[in-house]
Amino acid sequence: MTSQYPRPADDLLLSVIIPAYNEAGTIEAVLRRLRQVPLRLEVVAVDDASTDGTGALLDRLASDGLVHLVIHHPANRGKGAALRSGIAAATGQVIVPQDADLEYDPMDLPHLMGPISEGRADAVYGSRFQGGPHRVLFFWHAVGNNFLTLVSNMFTNLNLTDMETCYKLVRADLMKRLSLTAERFGIEVELTARLAQAGARIWELPISYSGRTYAEGKKITWRDGLAALFHILRYNVLPPRRKA
């Protein structure tokens, strides 16, 4: 697989897809952080039928110029469905998800764009486990992430350190060709499996990470970890459905 790049990172349009469900307390801060990133950005926010006013807030922020496009799901469908809606609407040369909380720092994005803009990578993962600065939180979450990454690597034959990371930058022409079907958190597993099956050149670079507690709104639980194991088997063993 070859790339149509190299081009300077700040010459490429990066489409940032923000799936949001009940994130009214943090999403404006995330958008203002994105505003400071020294890249050409297209921000696409997907309100997944929030009940706390997130959708109305995004519409207001769009009128202020902080969001380029707001997509509203009439019913809650999950992170994967929200990302797929955003991917379909994105017009940039590179696409990246951005969580609507404050765990990931958008100022890492220029660094992550490097291997793609230089023509060396089709996808770049921002790893929380490669030594970047991070908030110290839950031991068992780290163990679970490492275990899921290990099992995923066994199927994909990759040597990732952080399969579940939110920051997965992918060339848009490739991303839009991938057969993605996951509705909820299984999208992280599915995206990794489909990139491996496509023979994508994947790089991994360290990022900073400020994880939040459950009291601060973290939504991932042990049930999602069990579901991820099922998704690893599902998306790596079953062939992808062809896109029309």
d(CA 191, CA 86): 14
pLDDT interval class at 6 (50, 70, 90): confident
Contact 148, 164 (CB under 8 A): yes
Contact 91, 42 (CB under 8 A): yes
Contact 107, 37 (CB under 8 A): yes
Section 26-52 average pLDDT:
97
Top-level CATH class of 9-237? Answer: alpha beta
Q: What is the pLDDT of residues 201-239, one digit of tens each?
A: 999 999 998 764 444 445 566 576 677 788 888 899 876
For residue 166, the tally of other CB atoms under 10 A from its CB is 20
Q: What is the pLDDT of residues 121-176, one digit of tens each?
A: 999 999 998 876 555 555 667 787 889 999 999 999 999 999 999 999 999 999 99
pLDDT at 50 over 80: yes
Tell me the pTM. Answer: 0.88
Q: Write the DSSP string, the chain.
A: ---S----GGGSEEEEEEEESS-TTTHHHHHHHHHTSSSEEEEEEEE-S-SSSHHHHHHHHHHTTS-SEEEE-SS---HHHHHHHHHHH--SSEEEE--SSSSS-GGGHHHHHHHHHTTS-SEEEEETTSS--B----HHHHHHHHHHHHHHHHHH----S-TT-S-EEEEHHHHTTS-----STTHHHHHHHHHHHTT--EEEEE--B----TTTT----HHHHHHHHHHHHHHHHSPPPPP-
Section 44-73 average pLDDT:
97
Residues forming a β-bridge with 71: 46
Contact 122, 171 (CB under 8 A): yes
